[in-house]
Amino acid sequence: MLELNAGIPEGPVSEAWTKYLDHVKLVGPRNRPSYDVIVVGTGLAGAAAAASLAAQGYKVHVFCFQDSSRRAHSIAAQGGINAPKNYRNDGDSVYRLFYDTQKGGDFRSREANVWRLAEVATGIIDQATAQGVPFAREYGGNVANRSFGGVLVERTFYCRGQTGQQLLLGAYQALQHQVAVGNAVMHPRTEIQDIVNIDGRCRGIVYRCLKTGEIRSMSADAVVLASGGYGNVFFQSTNAFNSNVTAAWRAHKRGAGMANPCMVQIHPTCIPVSGNFQCKLTLMSESLRNDGRVWVPRKEGDTRSPDQIPEAERYYYLEERYPSFGNLVPRDVAARNAKYVCDDGLGIGGRKQVYLDFSDAIKERGHQVIAERYGNLFDMYEEITTESPYQVPMRIFPAVHYCMGGLWVDYGLMTNIPGLWAIGEANFSDHGANRLGASSMMQCLADGYFVLPQTICSDLHDLYRQKVTTEHPEFAKAEADVKDRIHWLMSRQGSRTPMSIHKELGEVMWDYCGMARTADGLQQAMSKIDDLRDAFENDMIVPGSADGTNQALERAGRLGDFLELGHLMCRDAYERNESCGCHFREEHQTDDGEVVRDDENCSHVSVWEWKGKDQPHELTKEALSFDTLPLMTRSYK
């Protein structure tokens, strides 16, 4: 059993963060330069944390597998970032954002973390503005807002359809500034292979230089994993080609608990799959649902072009089923309903796709307004499909997008291994069973700019003068393990490529652990994954050499971790015997297909402990409490 103590300050959640800050032990400015901090990953969370810690004076080493830290996948986030600024005077507040996030997550997140997120969110907008992030402005010069799914206020800030790009560049530039000052050092084109624990504390990492193939170690006083989500376990997803779970998973195998791994968000508006060679699915921002109307023909097998289908013969299923939220229901609800109408045979052309139609919005607001709001998304869509959304409705279908699950962390964002921290999508803490749109960037930047830089000192302050170097024998041992594993991978000379096995894993995950899950299906999936692990071990081929750039070797290494993770996700989905948010167990639903939670038995975080190869994981439950917002049935009708 894992010993889990979230360490939430006692008292009302609205005062918890202030209380924490008032009592956390600090590290003085003169002492900070003597502490080394490793940050793995340079997305919004990693870059923001690295820049903030370096600016405080810590010595920060930053690792990323890309050639430049500016390329982390946060850059692809499109729609926006939430903050309860109440600029629109429409009743927004910290409580409202807390309420929406907690309800949107279907009551499977920690209240105190969610409250803190809502509390610090306004500061992110001010921080980014000060860095020169060009948020969209109204004609009077004030910052503009739009609305996102699952909420009744306009609190989303945006930079055209490239909000993630601009926020990431803000954090990236702040980090590069710190590199120039000398407080941060970049290690691009490196991939973490293992973490090193000494006397129960994380004291460093082993990594591979992707250009030379060298295996190296680095010691530190704290290691921060900001390595993102594991959506690529599904092979086809909206994640970047190289996004992977390796850093988090290797930490998990060294003792870090993995929390709620089955909680994966399927994004409702992506461009449908067009061929079997495809791994990357392109997302169309949720912001499009502000102006786009989702519909399918009412008649099964209707082959007419959309403009030939009269209004009465169109099924605007979200507007009809959810009159108060309409097209802006949360992602899990929108995705599931797209699946339902397609399962009923109403998908366009008999395929798995539905319309997202802008003709009414263009009529109402004019071409120019729509172009200004979504121009780049429309261009991107046209580039891929050859159809212009200005002329014909978009065709969309759900795709894997975001992982709510991740490494277990306490209130301060430290994992159960002292000295090892997890921030951003890599941790599990804030989104419960479903994340609301425009909340991931909010959480990443909250963690990176405002939470971790305040909490990391709590663990550092008494470490002074207890330096460990890479001369310690544990580093040599970990390096030897890594070299053995790479040697083992290189000696695979079977017939199947890593990508072909990965693709098959993805199909199993999508079919059995995707938008709808059953106990029986999940058991089948686990046994299928066992077969794939067998193929991985006995029939895979890895070309080339380990001494230099070898992308197939990188992929094979990541695949091994995905196979183990996929198995655990199915187990977690199997053990969570309820439906909640994105986790939809067919056994637990209402007559009209809404989720049915089991609050009595399932109001907990499932935290899994690695017990060794071929040993089943062990489950520890962290009970959740609902003192501020009582449990209620989520309804968007």
Partner 1 sequence: MRIKLHIWRQNGPQAKGDFEVHQLDDVDEDMSFLEMLDVLNEEIIESGGDPVTFDSDCREGICGACSCVINGRPHGPGHKSTTCQIRMRSFNDGDEIWIEPFRSRGFPVVKDLMVDREAFDRIIRAGGFISVHSGPKPDANDIPIPHRIAEEAMDAAECIGCGACVAACPNGSAMLFTGAKVSHLGLLPQGQPERVSRVKSMVDQMDDEGFGACTNYAECQDACPKGISIRFIGRMNRDYLKASLCEPEKVQGQLKGH
| Interactions with partner 1, residue window 532-561 (CB under 8 A) | 541, 543-544, 548-549, 551-552
**Dist. CA 137–CA 422, nearest whole Å:** 34
User: Is 126 a binder of partner 1 (CB under 8 A)?
Assistant: yes
Q: How many CB atoms lie within 10 A of CB 326?
A: 16
The closest of 370, 221, 216, 236 to 293, measured between CA atoms, is 370
**Contact yes or no for 221/390 (Cβ under 8 A):** no
Amino acid letter, 197: N
Q: Which of 32, 73, 96, 567 binds partner 1 (CB under 8 A)?
A: 73
Q: Which of 380, 423, 468, 563 binds partner 1 (CB under 8 A)?
A: 380
**Dist. CA 148–CA 143, nearest whole Å:** 16
**Contact yes or no for 561/250 (Cβ under 8 A):** yes
Q: Which of 137, 363, 477, 637 binds partner 1 (CB under 8 A)?
A: 137
Q: Which of 6, 143, 371, 392 binds partner 1 (CB under 8 A)?
A: 143
The smaller minimum CB distance to partner 1, of residues 73 and 528, is found at 73
Q: What are the backbone angles phi and psi of residue 37, rounded to the nearest 5°? A: -125, 130
**Contact yes or no for 441/163 (Cβ under 8 A):** yes
The closest of 344, 369, 363, 367 to 354, measured between CA atoms, is 344
H/E run at residue 39 = strand 36-40
Q: Which of residues 22-51 bind partner 1 (CB under 8 A)?
A: 48, 51
User: Is 608 a binder of partner 1 (CB under 8 A)?
Assistant: no
The smaller minimum CB distance to partner 1, of residues 379 and 474, is found at 379
Q: Cβ-count burial of 298 within 10 angstroms (0-12 exposed, 13-18 middle, 19+ buried)? A: middle
> Count of residues for the chain?
637
The smaller minimum CB distance to partner 1, of residues 109 and 156, is found at 156
Sheet containing strand 222-225, strands side by side: 184-187, 59-63, 36-40, 222-225, 420-422
Q: Which stretch binds partner 1 (CB under 8 A): 164-172, 293-301, 336-344, 593-601?
A: 164-172
Q: Nearest distance from residue 69's CB to partner 1, in Å?
A: 7
List all residues 6 or more positions away from 281 whose beta carbon is below 8 Å from its beta carbon.
Answer: 236, 237, 238, 270, 271, 273, 399, 400
User: Is 81 a binder of partner 1 (CB under 8 A)?
Assistant: no
Q: Tell me the number of residues near partner 1 by CB under 8 A.
A: 83
User: Is 139 a binder of partner 1 (CB under 8 A)?
Assistant: yes
- If phi > 0 it is left, if psi is from -120 to 50 it is alpha, else beta; for residue 182 that is left
Q: Nearest distance from residue 210's CB to partner 1, in Å?
A: 9
| Alpha helices, DSSP H, located in 545-590 | 551-575
Q: Which of residues 448-487 bind partner 1 (CB under 8 A)?
A: 449-450, 453
The smaller minimum CB distance to partner 1, of residues 282 and 359, is found at 282
**Dist. CA 361–CA 416, nearest whole Å:** 50
User: Is 490 a binder of partner 1 (CB under 8 A)?
Assistant: no
Annotated catalytic residue, options 32, 155, 321, 331: 331
Token pair listed for 346: 């109403």
Q: Which of 32, 71, 250, 558 binds partner 1 (CB under 8 A)?
A: 71
The smaller minimum CB distance to partner 1, of residues 177 and 588, is found at 177
The closest of 129, 106, 89 to 445, measured between CA atoms, is 129
Q: Which of 14, 87, 481, 519 binds partner 1 (CB under 8 A)?
A: 87
**Dist. CA 241–CA 59, nearest whole Å:** 31
Q: Which of residues 174-203 bind partner 1 (CB under 8 A)?
A: 174, 176-177, 179-180, 186, 188-189
The smaller minimum CB distance to partner 1, of residues 215 and 445, is found at 445
Q: Which of residues 310-369 bind partner 1 (CB under 8 A)?
A: none
Q: Nearest distance from residue 337's CB to partner 1, in Å?
A: 25
The smaller minimum CB distance to partner 1, of residues 125 and 513, is found at 125
Q: Which stretch binds partner 1 (CB under 8 A): 96-104, 108-116, 134-142, 580-588?
A: 134-142
351 is annotated as an active-site residue: no
- Is residue 81 helix, strand or coil? strand
The smaller minimum CB distance to partner 1, of residues 278 and 466, is found at 278
Q: Which stretch binds partner 1 (CB under 8 A): 168-176, 251-259, 399-407, 596-604?
A: 168-176
Q: Nearest distance from residue 392's CB to partner 1, in Å?
A: 17
**Dist. CA 595–CA 432, nearest whole Å:** 14
Return the active site residues.
331
